[in-house]
Amino acid sequence: MKILAIETSCDETAAAVVADGRGVLSSIVASQVKDHEVYGGVVPEIASRKHVEMIVQVVQTALKKADLSFGDLDAIAVTHAPGLIGSLLVGVNFAKGAAFANDLPLVAVHHLRSHIAANYLTHKDLTPPFLCLIVSGGHSHIVEVLDYTKLKVIGKTKDDAAGEVFDKVARARGLPYPGGVHVDKIAENGDPQAFLLPRPSVKGSLYDFSFSGLKTAAVNLIHNAHQKGEMIKIEDLCASLRHAIVDCLTSKFLAAAKDNNYKKLAISGGVSANSHLREHLKSECEKNSLKLYMPQLSLCGDNAAMVGSQGYYEYIAGKRASLDLNASATMSIEE
C-alpha cells in the first residue's frame, strides 16, 4: 500500500511516499531555517507563507523521486495536529484537495504519533508494545505505545519542553536558531560538571518533567556573567546544560520503564538526535538488559516519511478523515 504523506506542522515543508508503513520510497524536506534564523525563532506568519510557496513543488518532487503519480497511490496522510495552526492548515488543505481530486482516502495523523513512527522506518523489527520518550521543540512525553494507534501518556512536562530549553538558552548566549544542534556540537569540547544546574522534579508525580527552573537558571547564569563583564566558557555552558537536560530525561524514562516492566524502549522527536542522550541511554539500556530503539538521525526532526508510516497504521486501524477535516493547534496524543 502506497501512501503520500504531507507534513507542515512547523517550519519544514515535507512530503514523502511510504510503502506499507515501513519502506520510504521518497522523502523530501524543505527547511525554512534560513527564513527564521534572523528572528531567533519561528515566525508563524512567515512559516505559513513559505509552506504555501513550497508545498506543490515538494509534493511533485516526492512523487517524481518515487517514480509514481497520483494514480498509483492508495491514500493520502497529513499531519493535522498539534502545531502552528497556519502552517498545519496549508498541509491539511493541500491534502484535502489532492484526496478529493484523485478520489483517494484521507488519513489524519497526530504529529507526535508520527515522531514515534520514525522508529518503524528505522527498525523493521520494532512492534508495539514499547515505552517511548518523545522529545521535541514543543513536547516532552513518556508514552506507553500499547499498539500502533493505542497510546497512553504516563509522563509529560509541566512547563517547557526539552527542545525549548536548548533553544532558549542557546538564544540567550547568541547561538543561531535552532539552538539544540549547536549546543550539542559545542558541548563536545566542554566540561559537563563546570556549572551545577538544577534537575527539577515535580512533587507527587513520578514521571513528569519540569524544565522551566533549569532554563531560568541557565539563562540567569549567562545574564549575570554578562552584567559583571565576564565571559562564560561556551563549551562548558553547553556541556553542563546538555548534561542536566539528559539527566532529567533519562532518569524519569528509565524509572518509568522499570516500574512498568518495559524491556523495549524507544526515543523520538528532534531532541532524540542529541548525541549525549543517545550515548547515555544506549549504555544505560545495555547495563540494564533493555532493548533501545532510536530513529536514524535524518528521521529525528520533522519529516513526512514518519507521517506516511503512522498514516499506514491509522489507515489499517480503519481511521479515515472526511473532507471537512480541520487543523488543530493542540491535541492529546491519546485521541
Q: Which residues bind ligand KG4 (CB under 6 A)?
A: 10, 136-138, 163, 166-167, 178-181, 184, 269-271, 273-274, 301-302
Among Zn ion, ligand KG4, none, what binds residue 21 when CB lies within 5 to 8 Å by partner kind?
A: none
Nearer to ligand KG4, 63 or 187 (CB): 187
3-state helix/strand/coil string of 268-293: ECHHHHCHHHHHHHHHHHHHCCCEEE
Closest distance of CB 327 from ligand KG4, Å: 15
Nearer to ligand KG4, 73 or 169 (CB): 169
Q: Does the footprint of Zn ion cover residue 11 (CB under 5 A)?
A: no
Nearer to ligand KG4, 297 or 317 (CB): 297
Among Zn ion, ligand KG4, none, what binds residue 163 when CB lies within 5 to 8 Å by partner kind?
A: ligand KG4
Nearer to ligand KG4, 33 or 317 (CB): 33
Helix axis angle for 44-65 and 85-102, nearest 10°, is 30
Nearer to Zn ion, 27 or 240 (CB): 27
CB proximity list for 287: less than 8 A, separation 6 or greater: none
Mark 106-145 with x for binding to Zn ion (rule: CB under 5 A) and - for no binding: ------------------------------x---------
Closest distance of CB 183 from ligand KG4, Å: 6
Closest distance of CB 298 from Zn ion, Å: 14
CB 58 within 8 A of CB 13: yes
CA torsion through residues 36, 8, 2, 113, sign:
positive
Nearer to Zn ion, 178 or 190 (CB): 178
Q: Which residue has the cell 532529567?
A: 248
d(CA 262, CA 129): 8
Closest distance of CB 105 from ligand KG4, Å: 26
Among ligand KG4, Zn ion, none, what binds residue 166 when CB lies within 5 to 8 Å by partner kind?
A: ligand KG4
Closest distance of CB 271 from ligand KG4, Å: 4
CA torsion through residues 158, 84, 311, 22, sign:
negative
Strands (E), the chain: 2-7, 12-19, 23-31, 75-81, 106-110, 130-135, 140-147, 150-156, 264-268, 291-293
Cell of 23: 519502506
CB 294 within 8 A of CB 119: yes
| Burial of residue 58 (number of CB atoms within 10 Å: 0-12, 13-18, 19+) | buried
Closest distance of CB 67 from ligand KG4, Å: 28
Nearer to ligand KG4, 168 or 264 (CB): 168
Q: Does the footprint of Zn ion cover residue 302 (CB under 5 A)?
A: yes
Closest distance of CB 232 from ligand KG4, Å: 19
Number of residues lying near Zn ion (CB under 5 A): 2
| Nearest alpha-carbon partner for 192 in 163, 253, 233 | 233
User: What is the binding site for Zn ion (CB under 5 A)?
Assistant: 136, 302
